[in-house]
Structure 1
C-alpha cells in the first residue's frame, strides 16, 4: 500500500509546494518581514522535511521544537492564519489531493500555540 507521500508524488511534489509556499509568503506584506535575515534554502529544507514526515515519507524531521524555532519571532494570530492560507493555496497549486492537503494543514494548525507568540495589534 502506498503512503500518502507516495500518492501525492513524493519529493518532487513537496519541492513544488515549498517553493510556491515561500514565493507566496515572501510577497505577503504581513509575512515577509518575519523571514528577513533567514537562510531561505535552510527553511525550505526544513519545511519539506516536516511536510514529508507528516505524510509518512522517508523524512525524519530533526529540527528544533516548533516553540524554540519560532521563539522571539513575534508571530501573531493574523500572521499564522495567513501562513495556513498560503500553505493551503500552495497545496492546491501543486495538485495535492484534498485528503493530503487537509492532513498537512491540520498538522500545521496543531502547532498554532507553539508558533503564535505575539498579540495582534488592534
Structure 2
C-alpha cells in the first residue's frame, strides 16, 4: 500500500492541503510568499504534487520545482517552517507519526531545489 493510500487518498489529501494552507498563510514569516497568488490553482498543484510524491496515480504536470520557486527566493529556514506546518497538519488529521516521517523524508531532498543555500561564498585565497 502506498503512503497516498495509507493516508486516505484524494479526499484526505484535499483536506490536508486546505488545512496546510490555512497554517502557512497564517504564518507571518511565510504569508508574503503567497501575495497575489491564485490560491485555488496553487492548491491544485500542491495536491497533484503530493499525490505523485506519495505514490498516488495523479501526475504532477507543474513546472520543475526549482524553476517555480527560484523567483521567490525561498530561504532554507522558511522551507523548514513549511515542512513543520505540513507535519503539524498531518498530525492534526491523525496521520501516524511513522507515516509523517516517511512523507518528510520524501520532501527533505527537495530543500536544495526549492530553497538553495544562498550564502555568499568567500573567494578562495592561496597562500
Same fold? TM cut 0.5: yes
Task: Provide the C-alpha distance between the structure 2 equivalents of 1:100 and 1:45, rounded to a whole number of angstroms.
Answer: 22
Task: Provide the C-alpha distance between the structure 2 equivalents of 1:81 and 1:103, rounded to a whole number of angstroms.
Answer: 16
Corresponding residue for residue 55 of structure 1 = 54
Task: Provide the C-alpha distance between the structure 1 equivalents of 2:43 and 2:55, rounded to a whole number of angstroms.
Answer: 18
Q: Kindly tell me: are residues 42 and 118 of structure 1, through their superposed partners in 2, closer, same or farther at Cα, counting changes over 3 Å?
A: farther
Corresponding residue for residue 22 of structure 2 = 23
What SS does the aligned partner of 1:72 have?
Answer: helix
In the superposition, the TM-score normalised over structure 1's length comes to 0.88
In structure 2, runs of 5+ residues without a counterpart are: 120-127
Corresponding residue for residue 100 of structure 1 = 99
In structure 1, runs of 5+ residues without a counterpart are: none
Residue-pair matches, total: 119
In the superposition, the TM-score normalised over structure 2's length comes to 0.85
Structure 1 stretch displaced more, 23-32 or 93-102: 93-102
What SS does the aligned partner of 2:85 have?
Answer: helix
Corresponding residue for residue 8 of structure 2 = 9
Alpha-carbon offset, residue 3 of structure 1: 2.8
Task: Provide the C-alpha distance between the structure 2 equivalents of 1:119 and 1:26, rounded to a whole number of angstroms.
Answer: 24
1:46/1:61 contact within 8 Å kept? yes
Task: Provide the C-alpha distance between the structure 2 equivalents of 1:35 and 1:117, rounded to a whole number of angstroms.
Answer: 19
For the pair shown, the structure with the greater C-alpha radius of gyration is 2
> Which segments of structure 1 move beyond 2 Å, counting only runs of 4 or more?
97-100, 117-120
Corresponding residue for residue 43 of structure 2 = 44
